[in-house]
Amino acid sequence: MIGDRIKQARKASGMSLRDLAGKAGITAMAISKYENNQSTPSSGILLELAKALGVRTEYFFRRAKVELHEVEYRKHSKLPKKVLHQIEGNVLEQVERYLALEEILPVNPIAEFKLPDGLPNRVNDFGDIEQIANHVRDAWELGRNPILDLTGTLEERGIKVFQSNILNGMKFDGLACQVNGAPIIVVSSENPGDRQRFTLAHELGHLILNGRLSKEQDEEAAANRFAGAFLAPAAEVVKELGERRTWFEPRELCVLKKAYGLSMNAWLHRALDLFVINNVTYVEMRKLFTKHGWHKKEPCDDYQKEVPQVFTQLVFHALAEDLISESKAAELMGKSLVDFRAIRKVDHAKSVAHQ
């Protein structure tokens, strides 16, 4: 109902009833009645609410009822409830548009996510996790080379990947959840690519390892180990670094970061995990990183950001097949018609088509 949609959009925006009332020029009492479905806003009021909330008016009439299940935040779960509402509201809005598009397409070209066959029932130690990461790579035919497009790799196998810029400047890495039984991973669009990739691999680790760990095993540590092993397999780490080292040149780690999309700090962890360096060397290198501030900002260039592509591709596929109008395509992408046409470059496309 419209009231539910107004409430969801308001929570996603981080506004209180009073905030929205002031921005839309409507009393807080009236908005409360709308949200509780005790009164129905006129078309003019809906336009004002849409402007204040930063949504299109079509948003209020979207029929999809979506709920996020098993929501888990990476690293920074102790965020204020208001902020969590913003994140989840932003994710819900994106998921609803994705599901609305899937309903339009006669055949969904993306397969449902399935765990690879042959995974062990129990994980005894972190050595098992190294083998599981290799098993997933083999099942997905990824070999052992660096995975250049991790988001695309996950999307092709039925994991929906979204990005959120709600927490620009705040410490949010990502979250994982389930919608209609399908896995969803959300990463911050503001983070550098290597951090996005580790979050994606970490959340994949939770999916793969779910139900395989004992109560004594730390799930977060296990997911971190999977992420490192999935992004930089053990054999490749030893090949790149050697079997034993007593020190690394920072520039060497920069080169590896660029090749694998794994941060310099994560390479230190991988070297420690695989006994390439001992704990003394690890601690000394961490001191060096802290001294220069490299634990916060690494000295080499940021790795390129991950960009989800499947949803955009499907929108333009549906538009090309006349399954949706240009206005509907703009709505699905959360853009104004003007902005969508700029993305589509419709004038150029028409001129080329008639040459």
The pLDDT of residue 71 is 82
Dihedral sign for Cα atoms in the order 139, 142, 146, 150: negative
- Report yes or no on 52 lying in a domain: yes
Whether residue 174 is contained in a domain is answered as: no
- 133, part of any domain: no
Query: Is 110 part of a structural domain of the chain?
Result: no
β-strand 160-164 against 182-188: which pairing, if any? parallel
Residue 248 counted as domain residue? no
Which CATH number characterizes residue 33's domain? Answer: 1.10.260.40
Question: Residue 161: how many CA atoms within 13 Å on its side-chain side?
Answer: 27
> Does the CA dihedral 212-214-220-225 come out positive or negative?
negative
What residue has token string 């130690």? 125
DSSP 162: E
Q: Kindly report, residue by residue over 218-243, the tens digit of the pLDDT.
A: 999 999 999 999 999 999 999 999 99
Residue pair 283/246 in contact by the 8 Å Cβ criterion: no
Q: Which helix (H) or strand (E) holds 319?
A: helix 310-320
Tell me the per-residue pLDDT of 53-110, one tens digit each, with 9 for 90 and over.
888 787 788 765 677 888 887 755 567 777 777 888 888 888 989 988 988 998 878 8
Largest CA distance in the chain: 71
Distances (CA, A) of 5 to 9, 34, 63, 91, 145: 6, 10, 10, 14, 45
**How many domains is the chain built from?**
1
Q: Which residue has the tokens 């779960």?
A: 77
Site of tokens 């969803």: 184
**Residue type present at position 56:** R
Range of weakest confidence among 167-176, 246-255, 301-310: 167-176
84 vs 274: which has the higher pLDDT: 274
Q: Could you list the residue range(s) of the whole structural domain that residue 54 is in? A: 1-61
Residue 33 lies in a domain: yes
Phi, psi torsion values for 162, nearest 5 degrees: -125, 160
Question: In which band, very low, low, confident or very high, does the pLDDT at 168 lie, cut at 50, 70 and 90?
Answer: low
In this predicted model, what pLDDT tens digit does every residue of 25-59 receive, in sequence order? 999 999 999 999 999 999 999 999 989 988 878 77
Place of tokens 């888990």: 72
Residue 2 lies in a domain: yes
Q: Is the pLDDT of residue 348 over 70?
A: no
Short-list 67, 104, 11, 72, CA closest to 319: 104
Q: Whose CA is closest to 228, among 271, 193, 185?
A: 271
Beta strands in the chain (DSSP E): 69-74, 160-164, 174-179, 182-188
Is there a domain that residue 221 lies in? no
Q: How far apart are CA 115 and CA 212, in angstroms?
A: 13
Mean pLDDT to the nearest integer, 135-163: 96
Query: Over the stretch 190-224, which tens digit does the pLDDT of each residue have?
Result: 899 999 999 999 999 999 999 999 989 999 999 99
What are the distances in angstroms from CA 304 to CA 165, 192, 197, 276, 347? Answer: 17, 7, 10, 28, 31
Q: Which two three-digit tokens encode residue 75?
A: 């690293």
Task: Give residue 354's pLDDT.
Answer: 46
